[in-house]
Amino acid sequence: MTDSIACSIIIPVLNEKSTLSAQLASLQYLRKAGHEVIVVDGGSDDGSIEIAAPYVDQLIHSETGRAKQMNKGAVHASHDCFLFLHIDTRLSDTAFTALQTTLNKQASQWGWFDVRLSGQHILYRLIAWFMNKRSRLTGIATGDQAIFVSKIYFEQVGGFPDIPLMEDIALSKKLNKISTPLCLPEVVITSSRRWHKNGILRTIFFMWSLRLRYFLGVNPVVLAKQYNQASK
């Protein structure tokens, strides 16, 4: 990577009409600076496509599935750095500036940001602290932390494994085999709507159980069905 590095920001979307405008509007200054915003739609039927179109450099249609969508976005990306951004995670100016500084210093790498949950409940601060501590200790990131990776590394490991859940963890494990990750202390802010909707403690234990069962070898297809049922 060189001093002129630009990033392709890849956002998988499925029926996110209520959040698209605000998220994509916040990224327009990056487009003006020469970076690229790509939305990969997984079959939305709520008008998400029409909302996204004016705000992006590329609007790509894909099969449903976050891994499939992000991989397809990477195939069409124009730049040498990929930043995978969930629609409910907000990228701050300071976070992106830190990423640019990091990219300009090193030839090829991958990593993520610290995360902070929206909302004022004290438990949200504790959850974020544990998420950040865990990722630093294990070298494993979640999609909420806005994973970034060079095109070289992403292609070397074959992209996200085509699994319906835990694709971010699986990618982290593959990347860890070729490079030590970088964890940037600048925070991205992810929505606490999942915890708010389903209950904080209930969501904590549910997500921990999914992760534990994945590490114990439970099929991600089974876990995805349980996750989708709980998200309804």
Q: Which CATH superfamily is domain 7-194 in?
A: Spore Coat Polysaccharide Biosynthesis Protein SpsA; Chain A (3.90.550.10)
pLDDT of residue 95: 93
Q: What is the pTM of this model?
A: 0.93
| CB atoms near residue 141 (< 10 Å) | 28
> Virtual CA dihedral for 152, 113, 92, 71, nearest 10 degrees?
40
Burial of 107 (0-12, 13-18, 19+ CB in 10 A): exposed
- Written as six digits, the tokens of 100 are 């640019």
The per-residue b/e assignment along 71-103, b for 16 or more CB within 10 angstroms, e otherwise, is bbbbeebebbbbbbbbbbbbbeeebbebbbebb
Confidence (pLDDT) at 107: 57
Per-residue pLDDT of the chain (232 residues; tens, 9 = 90+): 345 689 999 999 999 999 999 999 999 999 999 999 999 999 999 999 999 999 999 999 999 999 999 999 999 999 999 999 999 999 988 999 999 888 887 656 899 999 999 988 999 999 999 999 999 999 999 999 999 999 999 999 999 999 999 999 999 999 999 999 999 999 999 998 888 888 888 988 998 899 899 989 999 999 898 888 777 6
CB of 90 within 8 A of CB of 25? no
Measured distance CA(40)–CA(175) in Å, rounded: 23
Beta-carbon count within 10 A of 214 CB: 18
Backbone angles phi, psi at 188, to 5 degrees: -105, 150
pLDDT of residue 1: 39
| Alpha helices, DSSP H, located in 57-192 | 66-76, 93-105, 122-138, 151-156, 167-176
**Strand, coil or helix: 111:** strand
d(CA 183, CA 21): 28
